[in-house]
A and B are shown apart, each in its own frame.
Chain A
Amino acid sequence: DGGITQSPKYLFRKEGQNVTLSCEQNLNHDAMYWYRQDPGQGLRLIYYSQIVNDFQKGDIAEGYSVSREKKESFPLTVTSAQKNPTAFYLCASSNAGENTEAFFGQGTRLTVV
C-alpha cells in the first residue's frame, strides 16, 4: 500500500544522546516535512524539503538536523543540543507546490529521560 511510514512509534533515549527518527514515503512526493507537537499544542514546523538534496529550516530548527539523500526518505536527527526533545514528532509529504494535500505518518513519540 502507498503511504508514509514513521518508525519507531515510541522511542526512549537518555539525555545527551542523539537520536534519529525515520520517515519513508512511497507516494512519489517531492516535498517532505517534519513537525513537532507538544501536549495540547499545535504542530510546529522543524524542517522541510521540496526536492532531493535541498531542505530549509522551519520555525524551530535549532537542535535538529535532517538529510534528503533520497526522494523517499527524510530522516530527522534530534541532537543533544535540543533542550527539550520530549515530544510527538510527525512527518508529512506532499506533491510539489504548496497547495496540495499533505499526507502524514502516524508519528513518533520521543521520550528523553
Chain B
Amino acid sequence: LAKTTQPISMDSYEGQEVNITCSHNNIATNDYITWYQQFPSQGPRFIIQGYKTKVTNEVASLFIPADRKSSTLSLPRVSLSDTAVYYCLVAQGDTGRRALTFGSGTRLQVQP
C-alpha cells in the first residue's frame, strides 16, 4: 500500500517560494498524487493533482519526477494566508475499494 512521508513543519517569509516534498515509494501505476490544504477547524480543500511531470494551476505547481516516488508542491510567493497544513495523498487499498488516507501533513508557517 502506498504511504506518504512529508516534513512535519516548515517556516517561510512572505513573498518567498515554498517547496514541500512528499515521498511515496510504493505508489501504484494508476495512482495520482493529490495535495490538500487545511486551515484550523476547517475541512481540507483540494489544491492540485497530478500523475507525472508538471502540473500548474492558479494556486500552485506540482512537480513529479519520472519514477513518481516523490512529488513536490510549489507555492509561489507565499502570503500570511498560506499558513496552513498541507497534505500529500495517494489512494490506498484494493482496487475498487480504495480510500483517501491522509498522513500527518506539513505545517507551513509564513512569517511577515
On chain A, the residues within 8 Å of B97 by CB distance are 50, 56
Let me know if A42 is at the binding interface, CB within 8 A. yes
Total interface residues on A, CB under 8 Å, equals 26
Within 8 A of B (CB), among A34-75: 35, 41-45, 48, 50, 56, 58-59
Tell me the bound Cα distance from A8 to B96 in angstroms. 31
Q: For chain B, which range describes its interface: under 10, 10 to 19, 20 to 34, or 35 or more residues?
A: 20 to 34
Write the chain A residue with the least CB distance to B104. A42
Whether B91 pairs with A48 at a CB distance below 8 angstroms is: no
Q: Given the known A-B contacts A99-B91, A107-B42, A109-B41, are A42 and B100 also in contact in the complex, defined by CB atoms under 8 Å?
A: no
A35 touches B99 (CB 8 A): no
Q: Are B49 and A101 in contact (CB under 8 A)?
A: yes
What does the 1/0 interface line of B39-61 toward A look like (CB < 8 Å)? 00111111001000000000000
Q: Which residues of A contact B45 (CB under 8 A)?
A: 104
B87 close to A (CB within 8 Å): yes
Report the bound CA distance from A46 to B98 in whole Å: 13
Interface assignment of A106: CB less than 8 Å from any CB of chain B: yes
Question: What A residues does B32 contact at CB under 8 A?
Answer: 99
- CB nearest neighbor in B for A107: B43
Give bound CA distance, A33 to B49, whole Å: 19
Contact at A43–B102, with CB atoms within 8 Å?
yes
Cα A59 to Cα B100 in complex, Å, equals 11
Q: A50-B96, A98-B91, A99-B31 are in contact. Are A104 and B43 (CB under 8 A)?
A: yes
- CB neighbours (8 Å) of A98 from chain B are 31, 91, 93, 98-100
Binding site for A on B (CB under 8 A): 30-32, 34, 36, 41-46, 49, 85, 87, 91, 93, 96-105
